[in-house]
């Protein structure tokens, strides 16, 4: 013990470093391939080319052809191979170059993967992860820019996760690979190169983010903002702008679309009495629509002081022209406008 009056040196702060979402995903894949020999990665250009987005950089050289597998351009084919491998006891990670192309394989994802455990009375688990970029990128038009959170979140038998930060990306991918159910992991191409702070704990080999738990990214008292994936960052920016005007937003990073953490949203709404949902997807039957319905049906409805407001992508196929694209995706100004509308200021 220090002598009386002796100054105790402060304990060193936990090491925090900047890690891009790309590197966090690469780290997660590397650790899980090393940890469990049943895990393997397959998809277009994932091996020798190091991945279309360099998520699998270095993994083919380290683990070889049996663990990191380049496939033909046939989503229906390689997704089917992956689902069959999962039924046979392996743990595949199936990469779609964009989730728009998962439409080629949606029969495998829904009819083969999602429903089999139920239809076999629990005797055939399907431990598979379908992952890749989802939602809008930049300048790639309608056939590469759709958000499938509502589509896959609609289906019982699937778990659906949607990370924002590097911590989300690493922890959710590792949790998804270890889960015995099929998981759809919807990443954002525009976030791959974005660095986030990651603690020493988040960089450890046993760091997992539990599926089905949202995270409060910012505490607030006036309005609840709920988002997933890239729009979480827009909400944080909008919250910083509104804070200068005396409005304190509570920002909830949903992290998981299915099963949805409605309790976290309810607890926040009880505190703030106002709700705004933000998503890049289309408005009709969207994630925000589901959140609003669940709040209306539950106990938190009695705490609302104004109707909930949704901020969504425009109800059109994504335009190619940049100025039109910008107007089709929720921007910070749209969130600020929605908050002021719901607060009547």
The 10 Å Cβ neighbour count of residue 250 is 24
What's the confidence (pLDDT) of residue 84?
Answer: 98
DSSP state of 189: G
Q: Taking each helix axis from N to C terminus, what angle separates 262-272 and 287-297, rounded to the nearest 10 degrees?
A: 70
What's the confidence (pLDDT) of residue 8?
Answer: 52
Q: Which residue in the list 31, 32, 95, 144 is annotated as catalytic?
A: 144
Q: Is residue 247 part of a domain?
A: yes
Q: Provide the phi-psi class of 316: left if phi over 0, else alpha when psi is between -120 and 50, else beta.
A: beta
Distances (CA, A) of 213 to 24, 122, 128, 318: 19, 24, 20, 31
CA–CA separation, 130 and 107 (whole Å): 13
Tell me the CATH number at 168: 3.40.50.970
Q: Which residue in the list 75, 189, 290, 325 is annotated as catalytic?
A: 75
The count of structural domains within the chain is 2
**Catalytic residue flag (residue 75):** yes
Whether cis (ω within 30° of 0) applies to the bond prior to 309 is no
Concatenating the DSSP letter of every residue in 234-281 gives HHHHHHHHHHTTT--EEEEE--EEES--HHHHHHHHHHHS-EEEE-SS
Q: Are residues 135 and 264 in the same domain?
A: no
Q: Are residues 36 and 101 in the same domain?
A: yes
Q: Are residues 161 and 26 in the same domain?
A: yes
Q: Is residue 160 part of a domain?
A: yes
Query: What residues contact 120, with CB distance under 8 A and at least 6 apart?
Result: none
Q: Are residues 250 and 157 in the same domain?
A: no
Q: Is residue 74 part of a domain?
A: yes
Q: Kindly tell me the burial class for residue 13, based on how many C-beta atoms sit within 10 Å of its own C-beta (0-12, 13-18, 19 or more).
A: exposed
Q: Are residues 145 and 281 in the same domain?
A: no
Return the closest-CA partner of residue 83 out of 44, 118, 120, 114.
114
Return the closest-CA partner of residue 94 out of 110, 112, 81.
81
The residue out of 148, 175, 203 marking a domain boundary is: 203
What's the confidence (pLDDT) of residue 4?
Answer: 53
β strands within the chain, DSSP E: 16-20, 39-43, 68-70, 91-95, 129-133, 159-161, 183-187, 195-199, 215-218, 223-227, 249-253, 256-258, 275-278, 309-311
- Per-residue confidence of the chain (345 residues) as pLDDT tens digits? 545 555 555 555 556 899 999 999 999 999 999 999 999 999 999 999 999 999 999 999 999 999 999 999 999 999 999 999 999 999 999 999 999 999 999 999 999 999 999 999 999 999 999 999 999 999 999 999 999 999 999 999 999 999 999 999 999 999 999 999 999 999 999 999 999 999 999 999 999 999 999 999 999 999 999 999 999 999 999 999 999 999 999 999 999 999 999 999 999 999 999 999 999 999 999 999 999 999 999 999 999 999 999 999 999 999 999 999 999 999 999 999 999 999 999
Q: Are residues 186 and 224 in the same domain?
A: no
Q: Are residues 115 and 157 in the same domain?
A: yes
On whether the pTM is more than 0.95, the answer is no
CA–CA separation, 337 and 241 (whole Å): 11
The residue out of 203, 225, 253 marking a domain boundary is: 203
Tell me the CATH number at 220: 3.40.50.920
Q: Are residues 77 and 164 in the same domain?
A: yes
CB 197 within 8 A of CB 294: no
Q: Are residues 42 and 147 in the same domain?
A: yes
Q: Are residues 96 and 192 in the same domain?
A: yes
Q: Is residue 12 part of a domain?
A: no
CB 176 within 8 A of CB 127: no
What's the confidence (pLDDT) of residue 16?
Answer: 81
Q: Is residue 304 part of a domain?
A: yes
The residue out of 203, 229, 259 marking a domain boundary is: 203
Domain extent at residue 132:
17-203
């Amino acid at each position: 013990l220090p002598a009386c009056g002796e100054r105790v040196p402060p304990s060193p702060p936990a090491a925090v470093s900047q890690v891009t979402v790309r590197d966090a995903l690469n780290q997660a894949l590397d650790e899980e391939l090393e940890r469990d020999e049943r895990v393997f990665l397959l998809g277009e250009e994932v091996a020798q080319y190091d991945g279309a987005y360099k998520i699998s950089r270095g993994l083919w050289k380290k683990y070889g052809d049996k663990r990191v597998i380049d496939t033909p351009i046939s989503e229906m084919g390689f997704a089917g191979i992956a689902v069959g491998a999962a039924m046979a006891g392996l743990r595949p990670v199936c990469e779609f170059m964009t989730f728009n192309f998962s439409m080629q394989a949606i029969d495998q994802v829904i009819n083969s993967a999602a429903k089999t455990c139920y239809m076999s009375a629990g005797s055939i688990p399907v431990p598979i992860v379908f992952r890749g970029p989802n939602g809008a990128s930049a300048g790639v038009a309608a056939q590469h820019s759709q958000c499938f959170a509502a589509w896959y979140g609609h289906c019982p038998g699937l778990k659906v996760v949607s990370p924002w930060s590097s911590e989300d990306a690493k922890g959710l991918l590792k949790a998804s690979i270890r889960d015995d159910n099929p998981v759809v992991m919807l990443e954002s191409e525009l976030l791959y190169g974005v660095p986030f702070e990651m603690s020493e704990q988040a960089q450890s080999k046993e760091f997992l983010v539990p599926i089905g738990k949202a995270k409060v990214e910012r505490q607030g008292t006036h309005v609840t903002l709920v988002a997933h994936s890239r729009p979480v960052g827009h909400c944080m920016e909008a919250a910083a702008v509104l804070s200068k005007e005396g409005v304190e937003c509570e920002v909830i990073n949903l992290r998981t679309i299915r099963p949805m953490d409605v309790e976290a949203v309810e607890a926040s709404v009880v505190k703030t009495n106002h709700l705004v949902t933000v998503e890049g997807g289309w408005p009709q039957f969207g994630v925000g629509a589901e959140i609003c319905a669940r709040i209306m049906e539950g106990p938190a409805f009695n705490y609302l002081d104004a109707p909930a407001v949704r901020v969504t992508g425009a109800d059109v196929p994504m335009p190619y022209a940049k100025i039109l694209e910008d107007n089709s995706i929720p921007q910070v100004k749209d969130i600020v406008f929605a908050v002021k509308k719901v607060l009547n200021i």
